[in-house]
Amino acid sequence: MRKTLESELTKITDDFLQMTSLVREQVQLASEGLLKQDVEKAQEAITTDKRVDELELEIENTVLSVIALQQPVAGDLRFLATVLKALTDLERAGDYAAHVAEDALALAQEAPLKKYIILGEMAERLERMLDLLAKAIAERDLQAAQEILETDNDVDDLFEQITRELLTYMIEDPRTISKSLTLMRVARSYERLGDHLENIAERVFYWLTGKLDG
Partner 1 sequence: MSAFREAWDEAELGLVLLREGVVYYLNPAAARMIGAEVELAEGKPPVLALRHHRLARLLQRGGAEDLKLNGRILRAWGREGRLYLRDVSQSERRRRQLEEERHELMHELRTPVAGLAGLLELLQSDMPEAERRRALELARDEAERLLRLLAGQGRESREAWLVSELAPRLAHLLPGAARLRWDTPHPISHERDRVYQILVNLVENALKYGKPPIEVRTRTKDGRLLLEVADRGAPLADYQKIFIPGKRGVHAAGVRGSGLGLALVRRIARAWGGDAYAARVGEKNVFGVVLSREVSEEEEKRAENFGVRTNEDNR
What distance, in Å, lies between the first and last C-alpha atoms of the chain? 32
Listed ranges 59-67, 98-106, 127-135, 198-206: which one lies at the site for partner 1 (CB under 8 A) = 127-135
Residues in region 26-45 near partner 1 by CB under 8 A? 28
- For position 150 contacting partner 1 by CB under 8 A, the verdict is no
CB of 152 to partner 1, least distance (A): 18
- For position 53 contacting partner 1 by CB under 8 A, the verdict is no
Residue 176's nearest CA partner among 189, 165, 187 is 165
The residue among 169 and 192 lying less far from partner 1, judged by its C-beta, is: 169
Task: Please count the residues of this chain forming the interface with partner 1, following the rule CB under 8 A.
Answer: 28
Burial 8-35 (b: 16+ CB within 10 A, else e): bbeebeebbebbbebbbbbbbbbbbbbb
Residues in region 2-21 near partner 1 by CB under 8 A? 10-11, 13-15, 17-18, 20-21
The residue among 172 and 213 lying less far from partner 1, judged by its C-beta, is: 172
- For position 121 contacting partner 1 by CB under 8 A, the verdict is no
- Residues engaged in binding partner 1 (CB under 8 A): 10-11, 13-15, 17-18, 20-22, 24-25, 28, 110-111, 113-115, 131, 134-135, 138-139, 169, 172-173, 175-176
